[in-house]
């Protein structure tokens, strides 16, 4: 396994070792001791999620306020553009994003630590996306960042994404954090 740093130091791209022969391939998709050493992942993964989507579907950008999740994302079928946005107001990279293409050929993974909004768009006809989470999903705690927030400026590789009504209603970064501060302040 090789770990590649991104422009946001805590978000890491994982390139697993692939073993090919005439029967196909083999790879380890997760091994607790190796990932702890290579990525610094010390929280246990408590939930695995599987999402199947079709071309141009954009899911996100989601995060949880009180129960933030670290996520290890991979694709078992298809091709996606995966995005992490730093939503930690005290962070020097607040509002910055990184994107990585993940697919079923390279089997690369993206480690997204707590404090980041996550989303992806599908670039193939169908994509199966799997992600391990360090915290349970809490429906009442979920919040989102608008996919086309001008402040963040994610450069999505889709022209007309297919969005859920929930994802379409999310606010931009400035509005979102102003609302959050007024609730807690």
Active site residues: 62, 131
Return the HEC string of 3-27. Answer: EEECCCCCCEEEECCCEEECCEEEC
Distance CA 65, CA 118 (A): 13
Distance CA 157, CA 173 (A): 21
Distance of CA 93 to the CA centre of its chain: 16
CA separation, residue 97 to residues 58, 112, 132, 136, 153 (Å): 16, 11, 20, 24, 8
Region of 107 (left: φ > 0; alpha: ψ -120 to 50; beta: rest) is: left
């Amino acid at each position: 396994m090789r770990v590649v740093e991104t422009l946001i130091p805590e978000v890491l791209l994982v390139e697993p070792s692939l073993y090919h022969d005439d029967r196909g391939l083999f790879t380890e998709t997760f091994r607790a001791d190796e990932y702890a050493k290579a990525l610094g992942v010390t929280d246990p993964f408590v939930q695995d999620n599987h999402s199947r989507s079709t071309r141009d579907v954009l899911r996100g950008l989601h995060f949880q306020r009180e129960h933030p999740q670290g996520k290890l994302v991979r694709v078992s079928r298809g091709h996606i553009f995966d995005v992490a946005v730093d939503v930690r107001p005290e962070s020097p990279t607040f509002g910055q994003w990184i994107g990585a293409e993940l697919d079923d050929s390279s089997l690369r993974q993206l480690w997204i630590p707590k404090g980041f909004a996550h989303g992806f768009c599908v670039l193939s006809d169908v994509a199966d996306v799997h992600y391990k989470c360090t915290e349970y999903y809490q429906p009442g705690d979920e919040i989102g960042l608008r996919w086309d927030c001008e402040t963040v400026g994610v450069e999505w590789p889709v022209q007309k994404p297919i969005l859920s009504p929930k994802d379409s209603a999310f606010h931009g970064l400035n509005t979102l954090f102003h609302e959050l501060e007024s609730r807690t302040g």
